[in-house]
Copies of this chain bind each other. A is one copy, B any other.
Amino acid sequence: MPPHHPTTVYLSAPDMVRLVRRKGLSACIAGVAERIEREFLRWHDFDKSARLACHSAVGVIELMPIADASQFAFKYVNGHPGNHRHGLPTVMAFGVLADVATGTPCLLSELTLTTAIRTAAMSALAARKLARPGSRSMALIGNGAQSEFQALAFRDGVGVRELRLFDTDPRASAKLAANLAGQGLELRLCASIAEAVRGADIVTTVTADKSNATILTPEMIEPGMHLNAVGGDCPGKTELHRGVLEAATVFVEYEPQTRIEGDIQQLPADFAVTEFWQVLAGTHPGRSHAAEVTVFDSVGFALEDYAALAFMRDTAAELGIGETIELVPHSPDPKDLFGILRDAPLRGATSAAAVADRGMRLRAAA
């Protein structure tokens, strides 16, 4: 068999910026949402596990693997709420798609920008199924790096037209408002969480603090609201008062992981939740009446990254973006790894037959 060089496509962060600019951010969010829906509908095809988290006093580093019969994917992602003090992003990520049949890492991609896109796509997909039909207004609590993506995903995917913004850092809200100017959204900067939440159809919480915060308390919640709780995604990092959860119907991505990381970590292990794929598959009705309060307790699941990596791979190929890197050595003979170290240029003589000849002479001499 002639050598078949393992090739890896690399999408750098600047490549991804080019890709998203050329494809359009809205098209990327919609494309990833469609892909997430497609993958969630074949939930049982995947070998799933809760992500592997390495916690320190200042943050977390996680590996998120998942596989089906043909592809293995994983994401590396950190969460360091204090990073802005060093001028660094809170969340940085990259990921890989590999071929299950051979183990070849086929795609290495930035996922910092992509994570913001896939999280927003997932949130909007869930809200499209769980929020009251005709939802138009959304409170957006936490106006950091992910907030623009959430806003646009809900505008395009759910029909939200009015946003009420709140952040403990007014500069963050101002940045968000500036970035969303001219995007067909009515914006209101609010002085408190309660003010932002009052009368909203949907409430999205996407805060970064690594603490058991109570961004939303029971008295703020109105009948029929849909809560999109994105920021409570780590042991010890929650956003909702437990009373909010107790009075609501709670949907999660992958229950074993959300029990550890989600807002429901505050509740007993037998508190009833529904995995969202069941709503897509039609085995759970989702929202049952207009006054029901629904919560999507989102922590981010590897299958969303699998979907996002696949979308980005296909889009990069379509647009001719990315480069091929030699992450794995190209050896003329895969059984002769040592051969790549020889100083002389690699010879035809490393063919099995020629090597066998040399070897046999040596054996005769021994």
Neighbouring B residues of A144 by C-beta, 8 Å:
335
Which of these, B4, B14, B149, contacts A338 with CB under 8 Å? B149
A140: Cβ under 8 A from any B Cβ: no
Q: Provide the A140-152 mask, 1 if CB < 8 A to any CB of B, else 0.
A: 0000111011000
Tell me whether A102 and B86 are in contact (CB under 8 A): yes
Q: Which of A36-44, A77-85, A241-249, A260-268 is near enough to bind chain B?
A: A77-85
A147, closest chain B residue (CB) = B338
A3 close to B87 (CB less than 8 A) = yes
Asked whether, in the complex, the Cβ of B340 is within 8 Å of the Cβ of A177, the reply is no
**A contact residues, total (Cβ < 8 Å):** 103
Quickly give the copy total for this chain: 2
A-side interface residues toward B, CB under 8 Å?
1-4, 6, 12-14, 16-17, 20-21, 25, 47, 49, 52, 54, 56, 58-61, 63, 65, 67, 69, 72, 74, 76, 78-80, 83-90, 92-94, 96, 98, 100-105, 110, 112-113, 116, 144-146, 148-149, 170-179, 181, 186-189, 325-331, 333-341, 343, 352-353, 355-360, 362-363, 366
Can you list 11 A-B pairs with a CB-CB distance of less than 8 A?
A: A3-B88, A56-B101, A59-B100, A86-B102, A88-B334, A89-B334, A112-B337, A145-B334, A170-B356, A177-B362, A181-B362
